[in-house]
Amino acid sequence: MVRRMFSAARFCIPLAGQVTVYRGAFGVPPEVAARGLAWTTARDVACWFACRQGRDDRSLVISATVNASDLLYWSNDRQEHEVIPRRPLPFTIDGRLSEWKKVADDLNEQRNKLSHANKIDGQPHASC
């Protein structure tokens, strides 16, 4: 139902060709994670989502390749490079927990530095 609503809205997708997308999840089997709505084109963001609730064997990062024409939505409003695919995607498990933890920690550090910089001068800063 939600995918049909996004499809009807016809959002602008600034991507072309084949796109690798990632999904971070925690506490669900890979098959359930793959049916989730929101994916990202940024692996570090997926690692952060996988590790934000815990850092054990329940963390998971999956990846898939999709044609940009099969994406219903794209947004980078929260610097998450979010996409919504038209349908659930065939996936592979992307890496291991030790990698995901390190990538998530690196992203947290980047975000903390950006947050600190914003607090110092009160001005928004681009995170790209």
Give the per-residue pLDDT at 112.
Answer: 86
Average pLDDT of the segment spanning 50-72 = 93
Give the per-residue pLDDT at 111.
Answer: 87
| Of 41, 30, 43, residue with least CA distance to 90 | 30
Contact between 73 and 82 (Cβ < 8 Å): yes
Give the per-residue pLDDT at 113.
Answer: 85
Give the per-residue pLDDT at 41.
Answer: 98
| Residue 60 host element (H or E) | strand 59-67
Give the per-residue pLDDT at 128.
Answer: 27
Tokens 């607090």 locate to: 119
